[in-house]
Amino acid sequence: MTLEDAASAAFRRQIRFWVITAIILAVFVYLFSDILLPFVAGMVLAYFLDPVADRLERIGLSRVMATILILIAFLVVLVLALVILIPVLASQLSDFLVKLPEYLSRFQALVTSYDPNWLEQRFGLDAGSLQEGLNSLLTSGMGLVTTVFQSIWNSGVAIFSIAGLFIVTPVVAFYMLLDWDRMVATVDSWVPRDHVETVRQLATDINTATAGFVRGQGTLCLILGAMYAVGLTLTGLNFGILIGLFAGLISFIPYVGSLVGLVLSVGLALVQFWPDWTMVLVVAGVFFAGQFIEGNILQPRLVGKSVGLHPVWLMFALFAFGALFGFVGLLIAVPAAASVAVLVRFAISRYLESPLYKGHVEEPVKAKAVRLTKPAGGDGERDGDAHA
The terminus-to-terminus CA distance of the chain in angstroms comes to 51
Identify the pLDDT of residue 158.
46
- pTM strictly above 0.75: no
The alpha-carbon radius of gyration of the chain (Å, integer) is 30
Q: Give the separation between CA 224 and CA 258, rounded to whole angstroms.
A: 9
- Please name which of 294, 335, 40, 330 lies closest in space to residue 212, comparing C-alpha atoms: 335
Residues 76 and 294: their CA atoms lie apart, in Å, by: 28
Give me the residues of the chain with pLDDT under 70, please: 1-5, 7-8, 11, 108-165, 254, 303-309, 360-388
> Rounded to an integer, what distance in angstroms lies between the CA atom of residue 240 and that of residue 234?
8
283 contacts 235 by C-beta, under 8 angstroms: yes
What CA–CA distance (Å, rounded) separates 199 from 181?
17
CA 225 to chain centre: 16
Rounded to whole angstroms, the Cα distance separating 122 from 112 reads 14
Q: How many CA atoms lie within 13 A of 349 on its CB side?
A: 8
Q: Could you give the CA distance from residue 209 to residue 262 in angstroms, rounded to a whole number?
A: 29
- Length of the chain equals 388
What was the pLDDT predicted at 379? 47
DSSP codes of every residue in 52-114: HHHHHHHTT--HHHHHHHHHHHHHHHHHHIIIIIHHHHHHHHHHHHHHHHHHHHHHHHHHHTS
Helix (H) or strand (E) holding 162: helix 162-178
Q: How far apart are alpha carbons 177 and 384 in whole angstroms? A: 80
Count of other CB atoms within 10 angstroms of residue 207: 18
Residue 29: Cβ within 10 Å count: 18
3-state secondary structure of 34: coil
Residues 210-223, buried b or exposed e (16+ Cβ, 10 A)? Answer: bbbbbbbbbebbeb
Query: Helices 256-273 & 240-249, crossing angle to 10 degrees?
Result: 160
- What pLDDT was estimated at residue 372? 46
**28-78 confidence digits (pLDDT tens):** 877 877 777 778 888 888 888 888 888 898 888 888 898 999 888 888 887
Burial 338-351 (b: 16+ CB within 10 A, else e): bbebbeeeeeeeee
Domain boundaries, given as residue ranges, for the chain: 1-31, 38-190, 192-359
